[in-house]
Structure 1
Amino acid sequence: MSFETISVIGLGYIGLPTAAMFASRKKKVIGVDVNQHAVDTINQGKIHIVEPDLDMIVHAAVTEGYLKAVTTPEPADAFLIAVPTPFKPCNEGEIPEPDLGYIESACNAIAPVLKKGDLVILESTSPVGATEQVAQWLATARADLSFPQDAGDEADVNVAHCPERVLPGHVVRELVENDRVIGGMSPRCSTRSVELYKTFVQGDCVITNARTAEMAKLTENSCRDVQIAFANELSLICDKLDINVWELISLANRHPRINILQPGPGVGGHCIAVDPWFIVSKTPIEAQIIHTARKVNDSKPGWVVDKTKMAIVDFLQENSDKTAKEITIACYGLAFKPDIDDLRESPAMQIVHEIASFHTGKVIAVEPNIHQLPSSLEQVELQSFDVAKSTADIHVMLVDHKEFKAESLNSAYLVDTKGIW
């Protein structure tokens, strides 16, 4: 069965590019989101996120009539769920647990319009067992239809998991080129999912079961988290031993079998800073290294804040005529990684917020990819690089955006977490 109409639930950083790629192949695509502003923006042929080349694709798809956005699901042949999976509230020191509330809401929303022959794919990064939970929620809502947990290949509705594996800033290209892991709840679920993704995916679509597909995405990001934690721990050690960590890593990487990553202010984003907890929460006894890596990376922002406090002390000792209230601190970068506008789980955001909370003087943020600061940084001024460079007393480099790499900044009071100055 071919897929003539495709519905994407959740039009964020993954859902909208995915919807746009299907629409670019002349498929009718119905995007669904609870955010009315996002829906209205997309229906104007514009985008509400920053992602290279996506604006042109969305504009063409909307103009040609292949893509529309709505707030309530409509009938389709395939439904892709791409909604957030945040954490449940927890106390400091507790292991965060994933909150599947958005996924459950998406299931409840699409259930009334499901019909025999439909395919439902969970793209949201999820803990192991979430795809089976999706199938159960749908089965409970639609007792008149059969699902693969009971009917296998004979199910009326097929269900599968296919995690996204794209890099923000390169999403359009990687959606097409990257391999996809397809985890169906039955062989037919997998086969139909491959057929759907081959609409635009040029990479291989590798078939496995749903649980392994879920674990594959969590494993990829946990591996990356462990590697970053090693680099971040090295930076703490080198700071204590008065060794240049950037030079050290460069020297170590000359070994043919060593490839140490670069340290930074922590780990952010909707994947690497989140996904390892999905493993730890399910298997807290077994996931020792993964858990330790999370703790190392989560502690790095606090270390940066402490280094900033030390810079303030040093400045006051050298400038006895000034008070802390007269000191201006400039923080360079707010996004969770270079050259994007995505602030989700950003360690830079956490650091700037903490600095603004304790510092009595002015705090400036320089973020070339946004035009307005979030409400959580209401005490902070958004300024240009030139203003920050010329007016700040203390400089905190947090994100190595291309605009910053093209500049130079020499200061005795510089906290450089990226080693570019």
Structure 2
Amino acid sequence: MKKKICVIGMGYIGLPTSAMFAKHGFQVLGVDVNEEVVNSLNEGRIIIEEPYLDALVYEEVVKNGSLKASTKAEKADVFIIAVPTPIKEDKTAMMDYVEAATRSIVPFLEPGNMVVLESTSPPGTVENLMMPILRECPFDVEESLYVAHSPERVIPGKILIELVENNRIIGGINRKSAEEVKKIYASFVKGEIFLTDATTAEMCKLMENTFRDVNIALANELAVICEQLGINAWEVIKYSNKHPRVTLHQPGPGVGGHCLAVDPWFIVEKFPETAKIIRLARETNDAMPHHVFGRARNILGSLAGKKIAILGATYKPDIDDLRESPVLELVDLLEEVRDLEVRIYDPFILSYKHLAPDLETALADADLLVLGVNHRVFENIPFGELKSRMRTPKILDTRNFLDGESLRAQGFEYHLLGEGRGFHGQR
């Protein structure tokens, strides 16, 4: 008889995980409070963009009955919680969804069941938030349930590949829990699976993203310094990385997504007096949209009455995900300027404020084009043909993506984040 898995949360992680388990011999029930998500999934349709996921869902797991969706949990052998853990305005974790999901499965739990938290959470979530709720079960939870945290480690655009190929950490409330949970993930994970305790697993996921966030903050700080110094940060990074033990990251308009822009705050929340470097890195990266705003103002002299076109608004290239995108923070800052018009062109976005239907419309009478996201589809834009549509042919590239020399040769005033030339009038 197939083991039944109930996955709570049909978002960017829960749905691909559900489809993967369904493909590998499990009967899966996907649970979500959003009826549109549930109805779409039962019809074999998905409302998120991820390569090959639609084909896997429709052609395989929904069509053969291995994956179904509902707004309510049911009895199962394994319960996986993959709900959002968003950050609040005060930079603390909003854990209401994890708490609600945990409470929702308590009536269905039986001895021998597994409960797995996949949602990225502050250290101690399993032990201090989930376990007290699970202990409401009418049996000895520590002896009878297998409880663990197994954080996802995937990136949008490669989720189905990385779910299989990436190494995985499983942290149990005890050794037996970790070992039992390992068995179900081993059904499709080809990477190594490492066992530890729940809090260590939670901290590992947070530190993986914090490591990257801190190093991006270093690159962003370097970019601002190089602008003030009148040199090119991208050259500094390129030549510094020729050293065999140096790998500097790249600067940009900020850090987005639900991982890098959020996870470090979970550590700061728990250890506000200790996590000083982590907090400073977050504040540095959060300040970059303000810096880009300042660059735009410096280039145009005054922003009042001007039009700025923004190329790309998602938090990273070639995806449709807007979560925590620094470009959206830049848009909010520009909206505060009197009589300033903002137009956004991003072919991955179906609906958002200031969205232009095409690049030509976005550029019409623009005083400045800001390259915010380096989507691959932007590689072959015929800027020479579009130059006449702009009121003033000025470009600010925040990703070192465009060919600055070519654009300058075509008569554009090209500015690059992290390059001193043009910003301070020196090279």
- Is TM-score (shorter-chain normalized) higher than 0.5? yes
Structure-1 residue corresponding to 2:144: 156
Give a deviation string over 1:224-266, Cα, whole Å, max 9, x none: 0011001111111111112122222112222222211111100
Give the direction of change, closer, same or farther, for the CA distance of 1:236–1:9 in structure 2 (3 Å limit).
same
Of 324, 332, 343, the match for 2:322: 343
Change beyond 3 A, Cα 1:183–1:3? farther
**Per-residue Cα deviation, 1:366-385 (whole angstroms, up to 9, x for no partner):** 11112111xxx3xx132323
Deviations 1:278-336 (A, max 9, x none): 1111112221211111111011111111112223327x8xxxxxxx43x3211011111
* Aligned partners of 1:3 and 1:196 also within 8 Å: no
Letter matched to residue 354 of structure 1: L
Q: Is the 8 A contact 2:334 2:340 kept in 1?
A: no
Q: Which residue of 1 aligns with 2:16?
A: 17
Q: How does 1:82-121 map to 2 (within 5 A)?
A: 82-90=82-90, 96-121=91-116
**Is residue 372–residue 382 contact of structure 1 (8 Å, CA) maintained in 2?**
no
Q: In the TM superposition, what are the counterparts of 1:9-408 in structure 2 within 5 Å?
A: 9-59=8-58, 60-90=60-90, 96-132=91-127, 133-140=129-136, 142=137, 144-148=138-142, 155-313=143-301, 324-325=304-305, 327-373=306-352, 377=353, 380-389=354-363, 391-407=365-381
**Matched residue SS, 2:147:** strand
1:406 Cα deviation from its structure 2 partner: 3.0
CA distance in structure 1 between the aligned counterparts of 2:317 and 2:27, rounded to whole angstroms: 34
Q: Residue 294 of structure 1 aligns to a residue in which SS?
A: helix
Say how many residue pairs are matched: 393
Task: Tell me how far apart the structure 2 counterparts of residues 89 and 262 of structure 1 sit (CA, whole Å).
Answer: 27
Percent sequence identity over matched residues? Answer: 45
CA deviation vs aligned residue, 1:93-115 (integer Å, no higher than 9, x gap): xxx22121110000111111111
Given that residues 33 and 70 in structure 1 are in contact (C-alpha distance below 8 angstroms), is that contact kept between their aligned partners in structure 2? yes
Displacement after TM superposition at 1:404 (Å): 1.4
TM-score, scaled to structure 2: 0.89
**Cα separation, 2, equivalents of 1:204 and 1:290:** 29
Q: Is the 8 A contact 2:367 2:393 kept in 1?
A: no
Q: Distance in 1 between matches of 2:16 and 2:78?
A: 16
User: What is the CA–CA distance in structure 2 between the aligned matches of 1:176 and 1:386, rounded to whole Å?
Assistant: 41
Deviation track 1:54-89 (CA, whole Å, cap 9, x = no partner) reads 110111211111101100101110011001112344
Residue 416 of structure 2 aligns with which residue? none
- Partner letter of residue 110 of structure 2? K
Question: Could you list the per-position Cα deviations for residues 133-183 of structure 1 after superposition, in whole angstroms to 9, with x for gaps in the alignment?
Answer: 21211112x2x12212xxxxxx22111000110011110100000011000
Q: Look up the SS of the partner of 1:304 in the other structure.
A: helix
Contact 1:330 1:366 in 2 (8 A): yes
What displacement does 1:413 show? 2.1
